[in-house]
A and B are shown apart, each in its own frame.
Chain A
């Protein structure tokens, strides 16, 4: 059973200053599946995501309690190096933030951090990761141009490709399509569907339909708590909790 779950999270509590951002979250996240996390703004989805690769460490006011096991290892154990953890658990942010450098340099940024210098290997990584992110055909002739010249949708796929080039095990996506048009969104969703063969994907989204389209499992967060977690089909067709029902049918509030 242990091998089937990538993350096992037990009684996770996160505090932001004095306010509680997450209340006793326990969830097991299966490997090679897409987990969709839905819920209104401010429900703690992003804080949850950022707990999984310890990005919360960077905010001094945030403290994390509870246990998060990645492949059975406690990621908050003092021996764990957050830098190595973040290499295994990659993250794509809501707003695409390419580094002010060329497309090529954006992709090789992470591999070169880990001392990959071989040109052939880097070129190969650039091609495969851009292909997986459905971006290769659009940029293959101008890899040396600035990444800032790309459109928003292309930038977001570049950020996805950049994470793929890191060869992580888990990919966290924080509302990756919030600023994108439907066509770019579809491109990213298609990419995710293929990527889950090799990665465990956790997708936070404000767009419930997106979760319904791509996620295998879905968790519903509300006011710092996880209300319900189950197979996507079940969450969207016969939710157990009335609040979940109200939210997915758009009758909330």
Chain B
């Protein structure tokens, strides 16, 4: 009980601290200027984080485009087409992917992925695309393992019912199993999304970190997290407060996502 309470207290303290450090700054400079201006020049007193918000959203969207189809396809394959014993070895292996330090993913992105993109698709290599692919792989274990759990939780009687009505295996999967597991799958995707938007180290290494609005997936971007991590070391005064304010924006985005995930999970509970 005390430990649980202390965890909650920690969370509250963190949120309060960031808000206390960041919120006054937002009001001082004006919400619209802060969120929608594209000029980020702390030395000149310009604090517009719109390029970073766009960067975070693009990279996250890309990660979803890469990670969700792969994760869902993998989950369907593992839970529907593979004998139970094989799944019991493969699933923990996939979950191990989540344990690889993000800096290692960053290495692979820098050494393998970015040169490949530069060579075959053009641009600087360190780009939205590189970050999306790396993040897509990083969220794979989350999406896949939660999807597997919710597909496995679909009662077998649903499958038999569909088979008995003349459905093929594929029809059963896409007309019965996936709709029945949908809210769990969505929750998995949103948790993956939260991870993608919050990821810092791997993104710093592969996204290029240029502060400008991207025009194509091959352009370099800077995300909100990267912005904080890159500049915190030397920022002082207003600049420092601006980074805390960036943290506030990030926190709000992530909390919104978690709220959506929790609602999705709660709805699943209601249906049964």
Distance A163 CA – B163 CA, assembled complex (angstroms): 11
Distance A186 CA – B167 CA, assembled complex (angstroms): 30
- Output the least CB separation between B160 and chain A (Å): 7
* Minimum CB distance partner of B154 in chain A: A100
- Whether B175 contacts A55 by the Cβ 8 Å rule is no
- Whether B164 contacts A113 by the Cβ 8 Å rule is no
- Whether B163 contacts A99 by the Cβ 8 Å rule is no
- Whether A163 contacts B165 by the Cβ 8 Å rule is yes
Q: Give the interface of B toward A (CB within 8 A).
A: 83, 155, 157-168, 171, 175-176, 179-180, 271
Q: Which residues of B contact A148 (CB under 8 A)?
A: 271
- Output the least CB separation between A76 and chain B (Å): 17
Mostly helix, strand, loop or mixed at chain B's interface? helix
Bits for A96-116, please: 1 = Cβ < 8 Å to B, else 0.
Answer: 010111000000011001100
- Tell me which of B163, B165, B171, B179 contacts A166 (CB under 8 A): B165
Whether A86 is near chain B, meaning CB under 8 Å from some CB there, is yes
Q: Give the interface of A toward B (CB within 8 A).
A: 53, 55, 58, 60, 83-84, 86-87, 90-91, 93, 95, 97, 99-101, 109-110, 113-114, 148, 159, 162-163, 166
Asked if A113 meets B161 with Cβ closer than 8 Å, knowing A99-B176, A100-B180, A166-B166, the reply is no
- Tell me which of B159, B160, B165, B271 contacts A110 (CB under 8 A): B165
- Whether B165 contacts A162 by the Cβ 8 Å rule is yes
- Whether A93 contacts B161 by the Cβ 8 Å rule is yes
- Tell me which of B163, B176, B180 contacts A86 (CB under 8 A): B163
Distance A55 CA – B163 CA, assembled complex (angstroms): 8
- Tell me which of A55, A83, A84, A114 contacts B160 (CB under 8 A): A55
Distance A48 CA – B167 CA, assembled complex (angstroms): 21
- Whether B180 contacts A91 by the Cβ 8 Å rule is no
Beyond the given A97-B157, A110-B165, please list 17 additional residue pairs across the A-B interface where CB-CB is below 8 A.
A53-B164, A55-B164, A58-B160, A60-B83, A83-B167, A86-B166, A87-B166, A93-B160, A93-B161, A97-B158, A100-B179, A109-B165, A113-B166, A113-B171, A159-B161, A162-B165, A163-B165
Asked if A114 meets B166 with Cβ closer than 8 Å, knowing A93-B161, A99-B161, A100-B271, the reply is yes
Q: Which residues of B contact A53 (CB under 8 A)?
A: 164
Q: Which residues of B contact A109 (CB under 8 A)?
A: 162, 165, 167, 175
Q: Which residues of A contact B83 (CB under 8 A)?
A: 60
Q: Which residues of B contact A101 (CB under 8 A)?
A: 179
A–B pairs, 27, beta carbons within 8 Å: A53-B164, A55-B164, A58-B163, A60-B83, A83-B167, A86-B163, A86-B164, A86-B165, A87-B166, A91-B164, A93-B161, A97-B157, A97-B160, A97-B161, A99-B180, A100-B179, A100-B271, A101-B179, A110-B165, A110-B166, A110-B167, A113-B166, A113-B167, A114-B166, A162-B165, A163-B164, A163-B165
- Tell me which of B157, B164, B165, B179 contacts A95 (CB under 8 A): B157
Distance A121 CA – B130 CA, assembled complex (angstroms): 51
Distance A109 CA – B162 CA, assembled complex (angstroms): 9
- Output the least CB separation between B237 and chain A (Å): 57
Distance A162 CA – B176 CA, assembled complex (angstroms): 15
- Output the least CB separation between B49 and chain A (Å): 43
Distance A166 CA – B165 CA, assembled complex (angstroms): 7
- Output the least CB separation between A205 and chain B (Å): 18
Q: Which residues of A contact B171 (CB under 8 A)?
A: 113
- Output the least CB separation between B88 and chain A (Å): 16
Distance A91 CA – B165 CA, assembled complex (angstroms): 7
Residue from A55, A109, A148 whose CB has the most chain B CB atoms within 10 Å? A109
Q: Lowest 7 A-B CB distances belong to which pairs?
A: A87-B166, A91-B164, A110-B165, A97-B157, A97-B161, A86-B166, A83-B168
